[in-house]
Amino acid sequence: MNKNKKIALISAICVVSLLVIYTLLGFFGIPYGIKNIAPKYLKDYNATLFVSDAKFNPFTFELNATNVELNTTSPLFSTKQIDVKLKPFSIFKKLVEVDIFRLQEPNVKILRDKNSKFNFSNFISDDNVTTEDNSTSSINFALNNAKIIKGSFSYSDQNLTNPFNVNFDDINYELSSLNTKKNSAGSHIFDSNSTLAHKIDLNGDIKLNPLKIEGNISIKNFSIDPVAISFIDNDTLNLKNAVINLGINYALIADENATNINLKDSFLNIKSLSIDEGKNELSLGELELPKFDLSSKIADKIDAKLELNAINLSDVSFKNAITASLKSLNLNDISLLANLNEKSELNATAALNSINANALKIDETSKNLVNLKDINASNLNANLANNKTTLTLEKIAFDDINAPLSKNANANVTGAKFSNISFTQDTNKSLATLDEISINGINLKAKNKEILDIADVLTKTIKFDILNMALSAENIDVNRPKFNSELNDSGLSVINQLGLGEKEPAKTANHRTKTKKENTSASKSKESEFKFDIKNINVNNANIALTHFFEGEKIAHKFDNLFVKIANLSSDFSKPFDAKVDMKSSQKLNLDLTSKIKLEPLDITAKIKLEDKNLPKYFAYAKPFLEADLSSGEMSANAELHYAKDIKADAKLSVKDIRLDDKNKEKLIAFKSLEVDKISLFKNNLEITGVALNSPFIKAHLSKEREFNLSKIVKEDKNKAQNEQKAESKKVASKKDDELNFSIKNFSLNNGEVDFSDASLFMPFATKISNLNGKLTDIDKKRPSSGEFKGTVGKNGFSQITAKLFPFELKQNTDIKLDFKDIDLIDITPYSGQFLGYKIKKGKLNLNLNYSVVDSKLNGSNLINFDTLTLGEKVDSKDAVNLPLSLAISILSDQNNQINIDLPVEGNLDDPDFKYGGVIWAAVKKLFADITLAPFRFLGNALGLGSKDLSSIDFLAGSSELISSEAPKIADFIKLTTAKPMMKLSITPTYSEIDVLYFKEKKLDQKINQIIASSGKDYITVLNSLVPNAKDKSDKALREEAIKAIEVDKEKLVELANERANAVKEALIKAGLETGRINVNDATSSEPKQNTYTSVLMGVAN
């Protein structure tokens, strides 16, 4: 065998041997190593490996293993079958190439125990140090096809408060064409089911140079609940539930110049989201982004564009102290553009086509705050460029707004619309503008009663400077507002109905904080205060209905057809604004007010025209106090008002056709007109000039029950004492400095009439005072007022009243004179019969009454003249006073049938018991007392007889003989009876105690003389024998004791009295007086005069 053949043979044997060894190692060695050697090696890691069967084909480079299991402290990995096919010859191309890698039903189980140790941690050495190798390898890697078929994955974490478990089943994954030499990361297809998600799909392609990742991800019904339970701390944030559906078509392309990230036709859906953190709770029925696209380029500058077809939210709820819920929210056609340049300057724009929301509800604890049916907005645009932000919104509308104000009150708004909203902000300004705000159908109800209704409120051209806190508006129109309320002693019922009067519980916990904030706020400069400027405010066709419950009366007021205009109102209170009110009420009340108002300092100028043709409406306020009705009346007034530091006003007033009827609908008080030319008020000075009361009328009537009609119209005040006490308190509390100086100039009364009647008399009485005219000037505190009034009494009687007085100080200096002439006395027959007991047959009355008051002292003279006064027949009346009229007439009448009486009166007005009627009646009683009790003194003074006492003629004790001092009185009686031919004299016989003593002394002396004559005893002995028991034995004492036992017959005393009367009568007859003019009365006892005389009483016979 030659050498070559030998070499060839040896080479062949080596090759065959190597081939055999390679074949044996391939078919048996590698499977053996996998099944037996690898498990032993893994024991060092406390792991066990089990391979049911392993096969390797060294020629096709295919590896197959079945039923592989890897366990540590727990099962870690298992698979039914592993298939691997290599392409080893690609290594010569500097490429490690795996043609096929396939796992059948792989199962990976990751476990983290309670000690935070993973079940694969045995394979991780603490000594392993990761070193970074930045060298670039020249060997590439290729994986042509990789598959995971029906794989599963589970993760369990027992270290958490709530153990976390998750399973992924039916995992199918395919990777193809991964080749680093071709800069391809391959195409990826992933599909799985899980306990977290119903389906997870991934389909993508990756290229490495340049980097290009694209594909799509689909996640169906991914539940976040298990993740949230295990990985989120319940003490801070609790994510209770959420289900996510996601679909993303993605593309990432990166090269040396830029990176582009794009998302297209992607969607996101989140359902049943529930999150709570402490007391805050958020729940979301569904969040849907049906389609969104993102395109972005990241380089030296960044450009991004995001477009969303819509954002839809449903069943949104947020709970805290305030709870808010929203049925749905839809944002449509959203576009966002952003650009960040090399200088990191951001420019961005955003656009939103429309916003729709419905069923918004906001609550606070157990109280509903607001409900809103729909919100609609359109064309929202925003732009951020060069540090300038602009935002515009074409319109936003709110429909069916409801806000419960309290338990029984609700506010409703049919709709609110905001048009052309814009907002601009840069470093110098922050400005918001609106073209128009329209709010319509505003309604406020309480206890099912409508309180407020406004047709619409329209505001135009609004600007709000946020930096300067300045608001301006061109026009605010409030159209057809209606307001209804009741007014009672507690105030407006609407306050209670709305619950506005309910007191909030006191809060003291934050008192210091609040005080601090207030102090901080007070220290801010005025520049930060809110400012406003409104050109025009118009309230159009307002209607105010007010029902006033007053003292049991229900009074309805209606202020309708009311228009209010305010111009140039601003927060600069030093600038004036204009206000105008125009009203033509259906209740015949017309008001026209024009004013200019400045608030700081307060300065008001106003012109007012007021007209009311229905004054009886207001008489309801007098109904609780007056039993009467105002059947007609109207008034008008024009006024000009100015208030700065002090008030100044000028006005003109006219009141017409006033008629007050009693309860029987008969006219009681009336006047045709009251005209006031000028009313001027300045500071505390009120001056009224030119007052004319035309055709006033008063009906004064006294009923059969003696009730005066004018007093009967005033109802009894049940709370009189209480009201008087309150009034007195207010009076004491009032300050004299605030006292109003009041004056009236040129008051005139024209064509007045008083109708007086009296039905309480035995026969009705009626008379009139008519044609009453007069003037009164200067009623004020500075000067006395003077006045004169004239009128006709009855048919032809004349009356005149003149006065000069200080109206506000009547007690200081007052002079009043009243003159009545030719008053027919026959007209007062009902009074004379009722109170005097006589009718009047004929006669006239003339009065001159003069009264003067100086420093509260009243002095007056009443000059009374009765012309031909003749009494008629006597009338039986229980009310008649017991006055000797016939006597008075006989005494007072002169030869011409004239009775002239001067009746002086005086009194102190400061006396709390002073009454003018009492003073007059006292003077009348004194007159009749003088006439009755001392007629001769009265007549003597009248006839010039001096102060002689003609009331009696004196006699000595026991005597009936005229003494020398009494004889001249007989001549005086003759003078009086001659001057008063109708007068008769009366003589009253009298006796007194001195007459009794006279007769007792006479009897005692007779008895003593008889005993002395018969016994011969002396005077003293006899006197002692008459009173033997007397202790005092003096002569005077013994006589006084003896006289006590002596009796005197009354007949003897009466006889003496009659003898004295006859002596006087005979003397008068002898002097020339007719016997028929002398009447002798029955004898009577009297008091002795000067203990010496007994006076026979002289008088005038009635």
Confidence band of 524 (pLDDT split at 50, 70, 90): very low
d(CA 741, CA 732): 19
Total domains, the chain? 3
pLDDT of 900 > 80? The answer is: no
Strand (E) positions, 27-183?
48-57, 62-71, 75-87, 95-104, 107-112, 140-157, 164-179
* Same domain flag for 793 and 839: yes
CB atoms within 10 A of CB 14: 10
* pLDDT value at residue 345: 77
1028 assigned to some structural domain: yes
The answer on 1016 and 894 residing in a single domain is no
Co-location of 840 and 880 in the same domain = yes
| pLDDT tens-digit series, residues 716-749 | 765 554 555 555 554 444 444 457 777 888 889 9
Q: Is residue 959 domain-shared with residue 919, that is, in the same domain?
A: no
Q: Which of 193, 153, 191, 186 is nearest to 172 (CA)?
A: 191
Residues whose CB falls within 8 Å of the CB of residue 652, separated by 6 or more in sequence, listed in order: 637, 638, 639, 676, 677, 678, 679
Please check whether residue 967 lies inside any domain of the structure.
yes
852: in domain:
yes
pLDDT, tens digit (0-9, with 9 covering 90-100), for 330-359: 999 999 888 888 777 778 899 999 999 998
Measure the CA–CA gap between 368 and 14, rounded to whole angstroms: 98
Give the residue-averaged pLDDT of 261-272.
87
Assess whether 812 and 886 both reside in one domain: yes
- Assess whether 892 and 965 both reside in one domain: no
Both ends of the chain: CA-CA distance in Å? Answer: 212
Residue 963 and residue 923 share a domain: no
Whether 1071 is in a domain gets the answer yes
Please check whether residues 404 and 432 belong to one and the same domain: yes
**Maximum pairwise Cα distance, the chain:** 244
Q: And the tokens for 591?
A: 């008001």
Domain that holds residue 916: 778-933
Among candidate residues 933, 968, 996, the one where a domain is terminated: 933
Residues 956 and 871 in one domain: no
Show the DSSP H helices in 944-1049 as ranges. Answer: 967-979, 993-1015, 1019-1026, 1035-1043
Decide if pLDDT at 502 tops 60.
no
Instruction: Specify whether 428 is located in the same domain as 557.
Output: yes
pLDDT for residue 178: 74
Whether residue 939 lies inside any domain: the answer is: no
Q: Is 618 among the domain residues?
A: no
Task: Answer yes or no: do 539 and 395 share one domain.
Answer: yes
Same domain, 970 and 1036: yes
- Asked whether the CA dihedral 745, 746, 750, 754 is positive or negative, the reply is positive
Residues 1046-1069 pLDDT 10s = 888 999 999 999 999 999 999 999
pTM for this prediction: 0.65
Q: How far apart are CA 718 and CA 723, in angstroms?
A: 9
Over the range 938-961, which residues count as b (16 or more CB within 10 Å of their CB) and which as e? bbbebeebeeeebbbbbbebbbbe
What pLDDT, on the 0 to 100 scale, is given for residue 939?
61
Residue 331 falls inside a structural domain? no
Environment class of 130 (CB within 10 Å of its CB; exposed 0-12, middle 13-18, buried 19+): exposed
Domain of 1073, CATH number, reads: 3.30.1330.60
Q: Tell me which of 299-313, 454-468, 906-920 is least confident.
A: 906-920
Report DSSP letters for 774-794, one per residue: EEEE-BSSSS-EEEEEEEEET
Checking if the pLDDT of 991 tops 90, the result is yes
Please, which pLDDT band fits residue 225 given cuts at 50, 70 and 90?
low
Lowest mean pLDDT among 222-231, 399-408, 486-495, 850-859: 222-231
Omega before 210 cis (within 30°)? yes
| String of DSSP letters for 42-71 | HHTTT-EEEEEEEEEETTTTEEEEEEEEEE
Each residue's pLDDT tens digit, 432-474:
999 999 999 999 888 788 888 999 999 999 998 888 888 999 9
Query: For residue 1080, what pLDDT is reported?
Result: 92
| Spatial contact of 675 and 694, defined as CB atoms under 8 Å apart | yes
pLDDT of residue 185: 59
Cα separations (Å) of 246 from 194, 204, 206, 265, 289?
A: 15, 16, 21, 11, 9
**98 Cβ partners below 8 Å, 6+ apart?**
84, 85, 86, 87, 142, 143, 144, 146
- Residue 371 maps to a domain: no
CB atoms within 10 A of CB 375: 19
